[in-house]
Structure 1
Amino acid sequence: MDSTYYEQIEDYLNGEMSHEEKAHFEAALSADKELAGTFSVYRTIETEMRGTAKYKMQEKDLRNTLLALNKRYFENEPQPTTKIIPLYSGKIFKTIFAIAATILLLLVTCFYFFKPHNTTQLLADTYFKENLLHINQTISDPEDTLEFGIAGDKLKQKNTIQDSLETGITAYNNQEYPNALMYFQSVYKNHPEYREAKKYTGLVFLASKEYDKALQVFDELAKENVPGNSGLFLKALTYLQRNQKGDKKRAKLLLQQVVKNRTENNKEAEDLLKKL
């Protein structure tokens, strides 16, 4: 793989590319599987680093507290010269026990408060960033054939629709969600046979953390009896990201349904269930 791609990946993730550079790089992502795999690894590392960085300050505070306890109870304690006090002396034993209990309590508190609480939400967020934050510029055609005699008009209309979808996808990949939403909703409203536009509409809401709107879109999508329907899986993912009371249970039920019926994303659903 071209060594310059590593620099381009960093520039892309850091938002340091121009609009033209982004478009060129995203086209390379779609065409080069090796580059796409490397990009996924880089993005995962960046996600994990952001997820752990916010806990560094709390860990530093805990470390300072433990050092203060050590100085208070051990370093400043007068050292015996000739008299040796047995370890099992009642007073000394109680003091050591109290210190140990305090340190243990601090460690337990650290584990409980400083670890990421929303592991469910973090799991869903990581999946979204690795698999759905970027949409490939490959659009399926809902029509397999064109009618003879009006093929030219249909082809022209089809190209216009696909241009709109591609423009929306580019906006989505650039995290310009309001623009992307405008294109996707317009396409689906006027041409509902392009169901991908509806799916992309839901992804915009999910990326924007408008979970209720995303749930409504994915629920409607799940009710459509068409091949490759990922509505149920995306609805479950939205519940996991929203992470309100009862959402985890709802998500698990949907994921189990996806696995049982072997619908779209059943492998991913099975993997998520193992981690919940």
Structure 2
Amino acid sequence: MNNLERIEDYFSGRLPAEERARFELSLQTDPDLTEAVAFYLAAQQAAQREAQSRRKAELDQLRTGKPVVRQISAGAVIALAASIVLVLGLGAYWLFQRQSPSAVMLANQYIQENYAQLSTTMDGRADSLQIGISFYNAGEFSKAEAIFTALVQRQPTNDRFLQYAGLAELQTGQYDQAIDHFHRLSELNDLFFNPGLFLEAITRLKRNQHNDQNTAQTLLKTVVERNLEGKAQAQALLEAF
């Protein structure tokens, strides 16, 4: 069985328990396998987004009667988008720094002080979660994100998986995905402590796209008013605007 077959069987739940354990152990020692897993998950997500976009275009055509406009290749779109984001993103970042440096500084400081490391369990098991945590704590955030995202796919309402996936994405600058995971976390109603709203606000400050500052302020005010996780830090950030 090649790596691709093993990866597909692992994430589809077809591997026997013993083989699953060997696969998870290999993730800790085989960098090629880890990179293959990250690529596999990225390809899956890209395919899903492409299918959704294509379906939306087809529905728009049915609704309006207008022909679907042909798109340039995905590779060209990605390359062009990356260039635009780099140019505009840097400009927006420095503009935001001049407008509100204290809020950004406090947000970065909070992330560094509270989420540079994730807590581990004491039982020493090498399950997927612990492997992801090990990658995260070693600063290999992309590898950690791939594993945490896979765990979310298997258990979409697991608060720990949602939070860790969002944090890994925040560390790698995948702000859209992080916001999605933190928002889904904030909608879980059965948690005693839920940092979802606060972490979404932090991520929006980091992303700083259109209306992100206003949305972040609204989220931070909600955290304070509802006495949610991160209230003290939310108050400090609101004072910095």
Distance 1:224 1:254 in 2: 16
How does the TM-score come out when normalised to structure 1? 0.47
1:236 matched to 2:201? The reply is: yes
How many aligned residue pairs are there?
144
| Number of the residue aligned with 2:10 | none
Distance 2:157 2:187 in 1: 15
Matching residue's letter, 1:182: A
| Structure 1 pair 236–138 and aligned structure 2 pair: CA distance change class (3 A) | farther
Gap regions ≥5 residues in structure 2:
1-27, 29-93
How does the TM-score come out when normalised to structure 2? 0.53
Matching residue's letter, 1:224: L
Which of these residues, 210, 213, 219, is aligned with residue 245 of structure 1? 210
Specify the structure having the higher radius of gyration (Cα). 1
| Number of the residue aligned with 1:164 | 128
| Number of the residue aligned with 2:240 | 275
**Post-superposition CA distance 1:11-47 (Å, at most 9, x none):** xxxxxxxx9xxxxxxxxxxxxxxxxxxxxxxxxxxxx
Is the Cα contact below 8 Å between 2:142 and 2:172 reproduced in 1? no
Alpha-carbon RMSD across the aligned residues, in angstroms, is 2.6
Which of these residues, 201, 205, 210, is aligned with residue 169 of structure 2? 205
| Number of the residue aligned with 2:229 | 264
1:215 matched to 2:198? The reply is: no
Deviation at 1:190, TM superposition (A): 2.4
Matching residue's letter, 2:115: L
Deviation at 1:273, TM superposition (A): 1.6
RCO greater where, 1 or 2, for CA within 8 Å and sep 6 or more?
2
How do 1:1-276 and structure 2 match up within 5 A? 117=98, 119=101, 120-138=103-121, 163-192=127-156, 194-227=158-191, 228-276=193-241
Distance 1:193 1:209 in 2: 23
Is the Cα contact below 8 Å between 1:232 and 1:255 reproduced in 2? yes
Deviation at 1:138, TM superposition (A): 4.5
Is the Cα contact below 8 Å between 2:166 and 2:182 reproduced in 1? yes
Deviating above 6 A after TM superposition, structure 1's stretches of 4 or more consecutive aligned residues are: none
Gap regions ≥5 residues in structure 1:
1-18, 20-112, 140-157
Deviation at 1:210, TM superposition (A): 1.1
Deviation at 1:187, TM superposition (A): 2.5
Deviation at 1:200, TM superposition (A): 0.4
- Taking every aligned residue pair, what percent have the same amino acid on both sides? 33
| Structure 1 pair 246–191 and aligned structure 2 pair: CA distance change class (3 A) | closer
